[in-house]
Amino acid sequence: MQYGKVEICGVNTANLKVLSEERKRELLNIIKHGDEKESKRARDEMINGNLKLVLSVIHRFRNRGEELDDLFQVGVIGLIKAINNFDPDLNVKFSTYGVPMILGELRRYLRDNNSVRVSRSMRDTAYRAMQIKEQLTIQNNREPCVEEIANEMKVPREEVVLALEAIVEPVSLYEPVYSEGADTVYVMDQIGDTGDDSTWLEELAIKDAIKGLSEREKRILGLRFFKGKTQMEVAEEIGISQAQVSRIEKGALNTIKKSI
């Protein structure tokens, strides 16, 4: 995994240790049951032995324009919280608990430092709406509609909608959502094209280039760009994986570009 530099926050990432699951379990038990001195030593070793876990998580946010040093520090805070709150008596791997904690800390940081500022009152409204939604879901065994949430909160429906939309974190079109070997499917690959017929009449100028494609390539491009289907929908119709659809589509488009 490449991060553009070996050193982050003064830590040489090339020399980071990785603890075995058995050692993690030992350290977590010492942290919980040992004396103050033993607990401190075990906590330090546990933190240092899981810094690569932090690196693997902040890698997901590398295209957000944030400094890796800042993300690393925030991720370590999430790691420390996970260590402090983890119950070693549970039959769960530490990483299963730690990754969501680190992710949560990073998302809070990105949300609070977003260039689009959301007022405190609007955030409070959104979090209250989320709590009400959870309560109503448990109570009625189904997700409530916006009107039900607004009625419970005694606020206008529009206020709930605006508040919930304000705290939604923007997603990059280049955010990876699935990988199979060397093939990666991005958010933009899952977006169907909804252009009208007049748009596609202009594209018929490339028909000569399309003639050189295989029948499968033609079919995939037809479903994707003439019928506006997503790669997942095309994969289900043809009977192959979404990653294969992505690879064939990109190869066909490259062939057309070279021919034009």
pLDDT the model gives residue 33: 86
DSSP β-bridge partners for residue 178: 185
Diameter of the chain by CA atoms? 77
The average pLDDT across 124-138 equals 85
Per-residue CA distances from 72 to 44, 62, 75, 108, 175 (Å):
17, 11, 5, 14, 19
pLDDT beyond 70 at 216: yes
By the 10 Å C-beta count (0-12 exposed, 13-18 middle, 19+ buried), 235 is classed as buried
pLDDT the model gives residue 79: 92
Residue range 39-56, pLDDT digits in tens: 899 999 999 899 988 888
pLDDT the model gives residue 44: 92
Q: Rounded distance, CA 175 to CA 188, Å?
A: 8
Tokens for 99, please give them: 């990754």
**Mean pLDDT in the chain?**
77
**φ, ψ (nearest 5 deg) of residue 223:** -65, -40
Residue range 149-175, pLDDT digits in tens: 999 999 888 888 888 776 665 555 555
